[in-house]
Structure 1
Amino acid sequence: MRHLTGVPPRRGLVILLNGTSSSGKSSIAAELLRLLDEPCFHMPVDAFHAMRSPAPVPPERLDTVLHRTWQGYHRAVAGMAAAGNDVVMDHVLSAEWRLADCLSLFVPRDVVFVGVHCPLEELERRERERGDRPPGLAARQLRQVHAHGVYDIECDTATDSPAECARRIRDFLPARPTPTAFEKLRGTDRAAEDS
């Protein structure tokens, strides 16, 4: 088997789709994988939770196990991008530390931060229809998930189809403005730390 040597260095792009449960992130990600010219990996946070063994987790340890899962997920995405892979990340930044962790790990210039919005009534309808999410999960996440208020691009899955959202994101990529949302958020964080 031929071993690849001299692979040119490259930093991968991270397209971070952030929205509540049932907001349509996975559907947009699936469309993006079909539309993007470069090979790309879809790395949803749900896949990392699904990898966990079925061993029961005592209630007093659940928060720790979940926290470590999210930390590992962030580092796995950062590692794939550092190796030169483009990644579509679908995540729920419903806890402030998750965004802070991503900001500390990812190269801010290489992140396209996408706000995936959906009105509460539609989220609740989707939850009922899916039947695989606890009722009210999206409502509990909604207040915090977009609290940081800064995105590179935003979409609303109640008015646009996943394919339309994916096309808008794809068309946005060639002329991404600077500073990026992650650069702005890192600047805000640094300013707060300095004061």
Structure 2
Amino acid sequence: MPGAARTGLIIFLNGTSSSGKSSIAKELLRVLDEPSFHMPVDAFHAMRTRREISPEELPAVLRRTWMGFHRAVAGMAAAGNNVVVDHVLSEDWRLLDCLELFTAPDVVLVGVRCSLEELQRREQARGDRPAGLAARQFERVHAHGLYDIECDTTESSPLDCARRISAFLPRRPTPTAFEQLRTKLRPDLPTPAPGAVAEP
């Protein structure tokens, strides 16, 4: 296919709810040199029918939504598009799924951190998140412990974070955090050949 020879870069923003991921992503679209797409998981949840889902059904529906989101991101990147992903790795399987689907050398894993006190203040001010959501995610989201670059939005603005990430891209490490996590957490997966594109 013409124009699909390269794999797009995935800037993977991971942090709790209200940590500032979406705000950083919007600024990244302004400061990045190449065209990029912001793909927030909230947009995928918003696409779902508004009918009420029973508590028994909800976990399976949410899991399918996340799985579809991961595959949509992988497909966009496989077609050569640069993608800014807005994610919450609060369940182990989400990272494991992404490690299988994404081309690890082309993922820049960004830890978006914020103090718990500030998260709780933002959550209350927003009024559109369940009370205590960020606190429940706080320890789990960063449990894998490895990033290419981290930002703390407690004091830094979204624009400052976006500029730091953009400046980091030309000097990102080898192996990437995603490559190291893939080796550690998914040893069952074959090692892709150099330049190979993961199948979404």
TM category, shorter = over 0.9
Query: Residues of 1 paired with 2:186 and 2:98: CA distance?
Result: 15
Question: Structure 1 CA distance, aligned partners of 2:2 and 2:41?
Answer: 32
- Write the distance in 2 (CA, Å) between the matches of 1:26 and 1:137: 16
Identity %: 69
Structure 1 letter corresponding to 2:18: S
Deviation at 1:7, TM superposition (A): 2.7
Alignment of 1:104 onto 2:91: no
Match of 1:150 in 2: 146
C-alpha separation in 2, matches of 1:47 and 1:59: 21
1:9 Cα offset (Å): 1.1
Task: Tell me the matched-pair count.
Answer: 189
Match of residue 18, structure 2, among 10, 18, 22: 22
Name the residue aligned to 2:77: 81
Give the AA of the match of 1:139: A
Residue 8 of structure 2 contacts residue 78 of structure 2 at CA under 8 Å; is this kept in 1?
yes
Partner of 1:7 in structure 2? Answer: 3
Give per-residue Cα distances to partners, 1:149-187, cap 9 Å, x unaligned.
Answer: 000000000121100000000000011110100001011
Q: Distance in 2 between matches of 1:134 and 1:63?
A: 16
Aligned partners of 2:4 and 2:80 also within 8 Å: no
Aligned to 2:51: 55
Offset, 1:8: 5.3
TM-score of the aligned structures, taking structure 2 as reference length: 0.92
Give the structure-1-normalised TM-score: 0.94
* Partners of 2:45 and 2:169 in 1: CA distance: 29
1:166 to 162, 166, 187: 162
Q: Deviations 1:118-169 (Å, cap 9, x if unpaired)?
A: 0100000000100111110000001110000000000000121100000000
The answer to whether the aligner puts 1:121 opposite 2:117 as a matched pair is: yes
Quick check: which one's helix share is greater?
A: 1
Q: Does 1:67 align with 2:63?
A: yes
Q: Please list every run of at least 4 consecutive aligned residues from structure 1 whose deviation after the TM superposition is greater than 3 angstroms.
A: 190-193
Return the offset for 1:192.
Answer: 8.5
> Which structure 1 segments of 5+ residues have no match?
none
Q: 1:171 & 1:6 partners in 2: Cα distance?
A: 30
CA RMSD after TM alignment: 1.3
Q: CA deviation at 1:190?
A: 4.3
Equivalent of residue 175 in structure 2, options 170, 179, 183: 179
What is the rounded CA distance, in whole Å, between the counterparts of 1:191 and 1:87 in structure 2?
26
| Separation (CA, whole Å) in 2 of partners of 1:44 and 1:8 | 23
Q: Does the alignment pair 1:41 with 2:34?
A: no
Q: Distance in 1 between matches of 2:79 and 2:92?
A: 27
Letter in 2 for 1:133: R
